[in-house]
Amino acid sequence: MSMDRQCVFITGAAAGIGRATARLFSQRGWFVGIADIDAPALAQLAQELGPSAMRFRLDATRAEEWNAALGAFFDKTGRLDLLVNNAGILISGPFESNALARHDALVDVNIKGVIHGCHCAQPFLARTPGARVVNLSSSAAIYGQAALATYSATKFAVRGLTEALNIEWQDQGIRVMDVMPLFVQTAMVKDMDAASIRRLGVRLTPEDVANVIWKAAHYRGSPGKVHWPVGFRAKLFHALNGAGPDRLARFIARMIAK
């Protein structure tokens, strides 16, 4: 079947930002594909959203699962207006205090998961006029954050991929953007070991981020609008990093992390 209403596919949809985004888009008339590795929580969300949602148990690190889920979604909808690459994990604390396996897991989920999503979704996005991608980056991609080193590195990778594909896919009519929140009130920040969270606090809700994703999904301005910081502080850090020398950005990051 081919749908008249717009369709979005969201990873990491079972909780936090992904769940808030699925609820928002569903409430505003979109058909929502919800995907997550947490099948029980995903089933609860699917029951809440009802017939406006289609659920997929998805490990974002496995390309074959991406292909199966997106293929089934497109078979039902005939379109893919928006892909939201939201699935991600976090570790914190001194770099050497975390086992290498945990660093590897961040690379697999936060980088490979986004690469897989963009690569597997491209044929469906290209067949949908005005399609776009919103990747979940972070304010940690503005300047590397102490005690969040590998997480920062993965989000810098997401930022770089977003910037590159925003240019590369423009001629295909696919717009690629990212959102860059500071700390958000989700399970990811529970028991987080970083001075920056103690200094800055957790001020954003998942709904705050979902609202910015909604704005990015409907933005009709310049293709050069790629990054969407969420909240006043993230916008300020982003502006200062762009306007000042590297040493200023490093000074701010060091003061936050002390």
Q: Which residues are catalytic?
A: 151, 155
End-to-end Cα spacing for the chain: 56
Residue 14 per-residue DSSP state? T
**237, 248, 107: which is closest to 183 by C-alpha?**
237
**200, exposed or middle or buried, with CB in 10 Å at 0-12, 13-18, 19+?**
middle
User: From CA 100, how far away is CA 226, in angstroms rounded?
Assistant: 32
Q: Say if residues 69 and 87 touch (Cβ distance below 8 Å).
A: no
Pairing mode of beta strands 132-136, 175-181: parallel
User: From CA 119, how far away is CA 204, in angstroms rounded?
Assistant: 30
